[in-house]
Amino acid sequence: MTASHLLSWLLCFALLATAFGAPATTRAWLDRDKIEQGETVTLNIETDALTATPDYAPLAADFDLSGHSSRRGMALGNGGGRRSLFAVALRPRRDGVLTVPSLRVGKDSTAPLSLLVAPAVRRAPAGAGEDVFIESGPDHDQPYVQQSVGWVVRLYAAVPIVTGTLDQPAPQRAAFQRVGDDAQYSRTVAGRHYQVIERRFLLVPERSGDLQVPAATFQGRSAAGFFDDMFGGRGASLQARAAPRTLTVRPIPDDAPQPWLPLHDLQLRYRANPSDLRRGLAATLTIEAVADGATASQMPELELPPIEGVQVFPERPQVDETFVDGRPRVKWTRSFSLVPDRAGETRLSGVKLDWWDVEAGQARSATLPPLAWTVTAGIDRGAPSPAPAVTDLPADADTPATDPLAVSTVSDGGSRYWAL
């Protein structure tokens, strides 16, 4: 399976998937945001400028390009319309945090993207050197009951594949479902160049004890060679099988906080904080939670404690679910409208979420510091109503350790603050 064949397949799938979304002007995305040195990542660009093509020249500084491909498709929803989708395989020339720069597409430009390139891991998976082999496994070998475990299956193929089936049977005594679309890239292993299909699953154990995960399997055929074509052959049969795995599932600890929230990490921050409040006028407070190792369905509601003299109206949360480092991650952002009904001093006591650290095996609390405001009297109705000033922090803003927007993680009575 060549890089161009993989990109063509990916483009066809992406056009069908995006046909039901809202019409876009021009946008770009990567099929993965973290790779190892020596691998490729696919850059996709979608546009409704049908006569324009991307200018890939700015990529040459940090990437080698291959496997260019393009497709056009008709959008089926939101009024229809045609779109073009371009894809190109990028091989980073160095490791580190790289930026895929903004690219011109006709009169439009794509937004820059961030890519983390880790140093190559010098290990050869079982089966390396064969024409095809499978690597599969969890992000955590000893999970807790109801912990979200990322399960990744990778099919390596050193020969072109024209047809085949990759199957990962579900284990018993656990919820098991496929997550997202397949990622496709290339990697050199044991001196051979492989095309890799990476498929992700979410596994949630239901009981403690040993959990048997069946072996992933592949059945397929390679492309026909010269003698196959001459004598009517269909190419060689290909088979691969990963080793079955056994996970040791731990019970929920007796001292675990409730609701039970097993995670690798949890971070809270104020994303927007009104600098002042005025009686009868609404101001917005926004909180962001990033949970490493959870899905949106596992997250408790972000709520504010009562604020004396202030009515609180929560808005619908914004949820962004991704798959990072082989496991799920969710960013949960929620805004609250604060409407004071009297002038004077008021205070938010802070926000706290209890969780269980699955790596350290102990309870932790993610907390936000308290906030205080002086509510001023409302302005005359005949005068224009300026919106309250808001401190709005970008996701990568640096916050001094003494700033009230800092985040605190508390464990066993201690506390520490760090900048985000």
How far is residue 326 CA from its own chain's centroid? 10
Q: Which helix (H) or strand (E) holds 17?
A: helix 3-18
Query: What pLDDT digit, counting tens, does each position of 71-80 carry?
Result: 776 544 444 5
Query: What pLDDT digit, counting tens, does each position of 284-307 carry?
Result: 999 999 999 999 999 998 899 999
pTM for the predicted model, two decimal places: 0.68
Query: What pLDDT digit, counting tens, does each position of 128-137 carry?
Result: 889 999 999 9
Domains identified in the chain and CATH numbers? 3-118 (2.60.40), 132-249 (2.60.40.740), 262-418 (no CATH)
b or e along 342-358 (b: 16 or more beta carbons within 10 Å of the residue's beta carbon)? ebeebebeebebbbbbb
- 13: pLDDT strictly greater than 60: no
- 8: pLDDT strictly greater than 50: no
Across 70-84, 276-290, 334-348, least confident range: 70-84
Predicted pLDDT at 73:
64
The average confidence (pLDDT) of the chain is 82
Tokens of 87: 């894809």
Q: Average pLDDT for residues 243-270, to the nearest whole number? A: 95
Question: Cα-flanking dihedrals φ and ψ of residue 104, to 5°?
Answer: -80, 135
- The Cα–Cα gap between 192 and 173 comes to 38
Q: Average pLDDT for residues 263-277, to the nearest whole number? A: 94
Question: Cα-flanking dihedrals φ and ψ of residue 325, to 5°?
Answer: 55, 35
**Residue 338 in contact with residue 285, Cβ under 8 Å?**
yes
The H helix count followed by the E strand count for the chain is 2, 32
Across 5-9, 216-220, 252-256, least confident range: 5-9
Predicted pLDDT at 180:
86
Q: What is the 3-state secondary structure (H, E, C) of 356-376?
A: EECCCCEEEEEEECCEEEEEE
- Nearest in space to 190 (alpha carbons), one of 266, 124, 126: 124
- The Cα–Cα gap between 273 and 277 comes to 10
**Residue 390 in contact with residue 271, Cβ under 8 Å?**
no
Query: What pLDDT digit, counting tens, does each position of 367-407 carry?
Result: 999 999 999 987 544 444 444 545 555 444 433 333 333 33
Higher pLDDT, 350 or 340: 340
**Residue 392 in contact with residue 272, Cβ under 8 Å?**
yes
